[in-house]
Amino acid sequence: MTGEQFEAGMALFEQGLRRGRIIRQPLDYEAVFDWAGELSRRFGHLHPIKTADLLHVALLEFGFDHLVTADKQQYEFALRAGYSADLLPP
């Protein structure tokens, strides 16, 4: 990513915040980590997942209704766990 691309992305992010399309969601991070552990126990043996991806999927239990990702492993885990998700093309 070039510096110019980064700046353009940050401008779009800030615009999304101002327009209310992106919101700051208060979270109980201990609860998120606990739920991630539960998801790992339930589905990790069927579909291994990296910790950071697991945490992103766990967030869906806390006020987020849909996952959009370019990570196929994360996408498949989310579906297996019963969440709504879209996989972006490469």
Which sequence spans correspond to the domains of the chain?
26-87
Q: In the chain, helix, strand, coil percent, each to 5?
A: 60, 5, 35
Residue 87's pLDDT is: 96
Q: Which residue has the tokens 């987020």?
A: 64
Positions of the chain with pLDDT under 70 = none
What pLDDT score was predicted for residue 48? 87
CA dihedral 36, 61, 65, 53 (to 10 degrees): -10
Alpha-carbon distance 39 to 77, whole Å? 9
Q: Looking at residue 24, what is its pLDDT? A: 84
- The backbone torsions φ and ψ at residue 89, rounded to the nearest 5 degrees and listed phi first, read -70, 155
